[in-house]
Amino acid sequence: MRETDQGLRTVFEYNTQLFDEVTVECLIDQFHALLKGIVANPDHPVDRLPLMSTATQQQMLADWPEAVILDAHQQLLPTGIPGQVYLTEQGRSQGILPITAASATTLQLSLEQQAIALYPTEQTGHRHANGSLILDADHVSEEPKRLAPVAPRDELEQQLVELWEATLGITPIGIRDNFFELGGYSLLAIRLFADIQSRFDQDLPPNLLFQAPTIEALAQVLRQDDWTSTGTSLVPIQTQGTCSPLFFHGGAADALTWANFARQLGPDQPFYALERPDLNGPTLEDDSVETLATLAIADIRTVQPHGPYYLAGHCFGGMVMLAVAHRLRAEGETVALLALVDAYAPEAIAPQPKVPNWFYRTYQKLDRGHFWLQKTAYYYGPSQGWEPFLQQWGSVWQRARQKAQFNRQRQQVSAPPAAAPLTPAEFSSSSSANSLPYTVRYALAEDACRVARRTYVPHPYPDAVVVIQPSHLLEHWRYGRLQGWASALTGSVQVETIPGLTGNLFNQKSLPKLVQILQGLL
């Protein structure tokens, strides 16, 4: 740190083998907040100064709604800093920790924000970088202690330990530690399996973690030279419980995306995710909605041969589960629940614009741009400061570059050059398909879903349907109240609206309400 004409100039140097860029950025943000606090309140003791901005505090409350870590002065503490554990109202209602103090306190971040009720416990702990709550063992007699990590027994397990520790940011990790119990989630799983493919030259589906959640089990798979994905569309996420199982199709998304959703529904609710089998397995020659429904039914019946069935689908998965429900009804089965979660109708039955096509396309692009701005402002606007809002432009640019790179890769396998562009199925079955990274396979799955959506023509469904949708719908002016399904749902329709925007019902703000609705239906 040195003084210049413009002020203090600070340069941070760090060992990249010990710290990742995200962690260092958090430390810099905390240091910057501390310096601002010193300038604003030079007479205050350092331990009374904030280590994070109001925007960061509010983001923490949004990311971790069940419990927070406070210091002795009831200020929020950053990731990694130990302090006292307080439960919010949501955490208290879920009973995630025993309450040892009956009285409630409040946390006031700003004059504009309403006070938040917090319930003190006798536990101390801190937040890990991946968001998991780490409790101090000396103060948590009620919580089971983690067993001593089991050391790797050979070179393969040692390499896997290194990859897991680098991905999860935890050390040490034993070969029998569970990925999800260590705080793992879908994005970390995708990163982990990309590293596994790079190091071992073996392409494994990330959802394998549901069957092999430990290093020991994963190493056994890697030792099998002839191991191949089954290509099934059904992934069991939660098999225990006395309730009837819920079968959930997430469209192009992989099953790992719904692990937290399944956990939120409670330990007594069995949950089976359905995904496109070509996302992690062989290519489908026919990837129409009807074919995906046929495959889904075959897999569902391996768990539940007969009804009543409880079905739900998100986005494109809503079309698939509607087709599944049609087929089951035709075969004499009972569908007790069909829930369409933020699912738009196929183009064949969607209301068609009564304006010239050029005008509609132009207005559609302008409307989508406005919706994106509205969506970004909703999550990153004044409540958190405009800096995170502006940072979203950088992420949009990054996604645009990734999409352009993906399109170039597709063109490279399109031969001869003058030939028509390959369809998603043709591209994924080409000679380079086996070496495609997961992100490209996911993009192909999205493309295939868009193609199927344009060709699917559903029959009228006469039974009850629950439509769960956000309060702010994309292209509401065209699709209307039921997201375009009005002509296809001829039975009773129950509409449940959740505050939020299209595509975001599974985030921290909207998920609790979605879980509450589904729990009332199951």
β-bridge mates for residue 472, sequence order: 501
Tell me, what's the pLDDT at 178? 86
Q: Are 317 and 251 in contact (CB under 8 A)?
A: yes
Residue 428's pLDDT band, with cuts at 50, 70 and 90, is very low
- The answer as to whether 95 is a domain residue is yes
| pTM of the shown model | 0.63
Round to whole Å and give the CA distance between 205 and 384.
37
Tell me the three-class secondary structure of 57-109, residue by residue: HHHHHHHCCCEEEECCCCCECCCCCCEEEEECHHHHHHCCCCCCCCCCEEECC
Find which of 53-62, 338-347, 441-450 is predicted with most confidence, using mean pLDDT: 338-347
Residues 118 and 92 grouped into a single domain: yes
Q: Which residue has the higher pLDDT, 40 or 231?
A: 40
Q: What is the mean pLDDT of the chain?
A: 77
Residue range(s) defining the domain that contains residue 484: 234-352+457-521
Distance of CA 56 to the CA centre of its chain: 21
Residue 427's pLDDT band, with cuts at 50, 70 and 90, is very low
- The answer as to whether 358 is a domain residue is no
**Stretch 169-192: mean pLDDT:** 83
Q: Which residue has the higher pLDDT, 3 or 106?
A: 3
**Stretch 154-161: mean pLDDT:** 91
Phi and psi angles of residue 500, each rounded to the nearest 5 degrees, phi first? 150, -170
Residues 185 and 252 grouped into a single domain: no
- The answer as to whether 138 is a domain residue is yes
Tell me, what's the pLDDT at 146? 55
Round to whole Å and give the CA distance between 458 and 348.
8
What does the DSSP assignment read for 125-184? EEE-TTS-EEE-GGG-SSSPPPPPPPPP-SHHHHHHHHHHHHHH--SS--TT--TTTTT-
Residues 210 and 268 grouped into a single domain: no
Residues 206 and 109 grouped into a single domain: no
Q: Which residue has the higher pLDDT, 94 or 164?
A: 164
- With a cut of 90, say whether residue 95 has pLDDT above it: no
- The answer as to whether 11 is a domain residue is yes
**Stretch 293-318: mean pLDDT:** 93
Q: Which residue has the higher pLDDT, 485 or 197?
A: 485
Q: What tens digit of pLDDT does each residue of 354-400 get?
A: 778 888 788 878 877 777 776 666 655 554 455 555 555 555 555 55
Longest dimension (CA), the chain: 81
Among 119, 145, 171, the domain boundary falls at 145
Residues 138 and 163 grouped into a single domain: no
Residues 327 and 209 grouped into a single domain: no
- The answer as to whether 119 is a domain residue is yes
Distance of CA 95 to the CA centre of its chain: 23
Residues 339 and 285 grouped into a single domain: yes
The total domain count for the chain is 4
Residues 174 and 200 grouped into a single domain: yes
Residue 418's pLDDT band, with cuts at 50, 70 and 90, is very low
Q: What tens digit of pLDDT does each residue of 17-76 get?
A: 666 676 777 778 778 777 887 887 777 776 667 667 666 766 666 666 677 887 766 677
Residues 331 and 238 grouped into a single domain: yes
**Stretch 474-487: mean pLDDT:** 84
- With a cut of 50, say whether residue 415 has pLDDT above it: no
Residues 238 and 346 grouped into a single domain: yes
Tell me, what's the pLDDT at 112? 46
- The answer as to whether 362 is a domain residue is no
Residue 111's pLDDT band, with cuts at 50, 70 and 90, is very low
**Stretch 119-131: mean pLDDT:** 69
Residues 181 and 81 grouped into a single domain: no
Tell me the three-class secondary structure of 390-413, residue by residue: HHHHHHHHHHHHHHHHHHHHHHHC
Tell me, what's the pLDDT at 297? 94
Q: What CATH number corresponds to the domain at position 180? A: 1.10.1200.10
Q: What tens digit of pLDDT does each residue of 484-520 get?
A: 898 899 999 999 999 888 887 887 678 888 998 999 9
- The answer as to whether 9 is a domain residue is yes
Residues 268 and 330 grouped into a single domain: yes
- The answer as to whether 397 is a domain residue is no
